[in-house]
Structure 1
Amino acid sequence: MTTQSTSSLLRWLIALSCLLPFLASPVEAQQLPAPRDTSFTVYSAFIKAKKNNPAISVARPTLPSTVQAKMNLTYCTIGNRNLQLDIFRPIANRKKGYPAVLFIHGGGWRSGDRLQHVPMAQQLAAVGYVTVTAEYRLSTEAVYPAAVMDLKAAIRWMRANAKAYAIDTTKIAVWGFSAGGQLAALLGTTNDDKTLEGDACYPSHSSSVQAIVDVDGTLAFIHPESGEGNDSKGPSAATYWFGASKTEKPELWHQAGALNHVTGATPPIVFINSSVDRMHAGREDMIKKLDAFHIYHEVHSFPDAPHTFPLFNPWFEPTLKYTVAFLNKVFKVK
């Protein structure tokens, strides 16, 4: 064998040795991230909403000078998947820490992006909150309850890293829009529910939250007011998320409705809603349950607003004000 042939053979063997671990590894470890569904973006929502609201504009306030940002932090690794978040906090140090808020984006559990609520998170940080915008696995990647478990892991991460980011671990809230509102309400009503907890990251820390901001998120999937699960023209967004229709696995659809988990331990909640009633299905029934347990709640509505109102002016600022006023009240922030 010539020297050149020996060299070529050696290179081939080295290349093969690099591939062997992947060839021998489980199928799950070889999977690439699912293609991202970009059907719901701020731009697409703007074009749609502008048809009936020509005066609106995308809310893009600048990052306040009093706020520090850290982007693209991994909060949990599941298999070979790194779940990431962004965090915003007041630059000034505070010995006892600041109340914190986890922001959850919408998009039908299938689309959307955590960056969509960075403007709101930044503005809330400017008034004395540590805010986090986290991604979670969408239905193109993992079905229910993966997203719930991911977000509970994000809350555990916040507690595990409380000292580094000046978080008061006794005052953590969730803020969610649309599908994110549904998730926020479910997270808050299932504090300490082991069936939805997951144990992928920081299992020694609590995922409990002390306040809920539900911005146009459904409270019940199987309910007279709900529009979720209509598969007459093909699988609905919720059907994709659950991996089954509501007639096939109604127990999952019931489990995901915050309405079905209200107890005396449910934290205070504010509902901030558009004019689209089906987006907050189950709200009145939930309020009846909250009243029975004497749990504090607020309702704020924008009668002429489209579903995507928190992304746009003129609704961005009043949504922020309702959020701040509610959180200041329940967390006793002066």
Structure 2
Amino acid sequence: MIVSYQLGLISLGTLALGQIVSSIEVPDEQVVYKKVGEVNLHLDVFKPKGHQAGNKCPCIVFFFGGGWTGGTPSQFYPHAQYLASRGMVAISAEYRVSSRHDTLPYQCVADGKSSIRWIRQHASTLGVDPDRIAAGGGSFGAQ
């Protein structure tokens, strides 16, 4: 009886994990916004259902945390997915970090500024209202 109970718990755990994994989304689009040497920096774009380039949706840009030393844009995929389901274009931005690119904090900040400039310059092709762009994040990304 103990063995069947343990197998039942393992089965339930596997089923629950399958539900979590199946709900994880990938970006609708990934674009390069900046090239530094051999490094391409990307924006991971999540769009509302039925979104068209001609739309002028509000936009939010997320910057991952990691104290300028690490982290990845996927930290904010769940947030981006949720806000895209509510009508926003949500973007998770990649920037250089010291552990992968041997950069200093001011270079990380420069990448963040470059990403916002790029989004404004390409707002019409992204379907974004350039006057309604918000930014947020965790740790460094909140600065």
Tell me the TM-score normalised to structure 1 length.
Answer: 0.34
Shift of the 61–160 alpha-carbon distance from structure 1 to 2, 3 Å rule, reads: farther
Matched with 2:4 is none
Q: Does 1:80 align with 2:38?
A: yes
Matched with 1:167 is 128
Root mean square deviation, CA, Å: 2.4
Alpha-carbon distance in 1 for matches of 2:132, 2:82: 18
**CA radius of gyration, larger in:** 1
1:242-288, Cα deviation, whole Å (9 max, x unpaired) = xxxxxxxxxxxxxxxxxxxxxxxxxxxxxxxxxxxxxxxxxxxxxxx
1:123 aligned to which of 79, 82, 85:
82
Alpha-carbon deviation of 1:61?
7.9
Contact residue 63 and residue 123 of structure 1 kept, 8 A: no
Matched with 1:99 is 58
1:148 aligned to which of 109, 117, 121:
109
- Partner AA of 1:175 in structure 2: G
- Partner AA of 1:166 in structure 2: G
Matched with 2:137 is 176
Alpha-carbon distance in 2 for matches of 1:109, 1:60: 28
Contact residue 68 and residue 105 of structure 2 kept, 8 A: no
Of Structure 1 and Structure 2, the greater helix share is in: 2
Matched with 1:62 is 23
Alpha-carbon distance in 2 for matches of 1:93, 1:85: 17
Alpha-carbon deviation of 1:96?
4.9
Alpha-carbon distance in 2 for matches of 1:162, 1:153: 14
- Partner AA of 2:76 in structure 1: H
Alpha-carbon deviation of 1:122?
0.7
Matched with 1:132 is 91
- Partner AA of 1:86 in structure 2: D
Alpha-carbon deviation of 1:63?
5.9
- Partner AA of 1:105 in structure 2: F
1:209-234, Cα deviation, whole Å (9 max, x unpaired) = xxxxxxxxxxxxxxxxxxxxxxxxxx
Contact residue 27 and residue 44 of structure 2 kept, 8 A: no
Structure 1: tracts of 5 or more residues without a match: 1-58, 183-334
Matched with 1:192 is none
Structure 2: tracts of 5 or more residues without a match: 1-19
Tell me the TM-score normalised to structure 2 length.
Answer: 0.75
Contact residue 61 and residue 119 of structure 1 kept, 8 A: no
Alpha-carbon distance in 2 for matches of 1:106, 1:138: 10
Of Structure 1 and Structure 2, the greater strand share is in: 2
Alpha-carbon deviation of 1:68?
7.1
Alpha-carbon distance in 1 for matches of 2:75, 2:134: 18
Matched with 2:7 is none
Higher RCO, 1 vs 2 (CA within 8 Å, ≥6 residues apart) = 2
- Percent of pairs with identical residues: 36
Alpha-carbon deviation of 1:80?
2.0
Aligned residues: 122
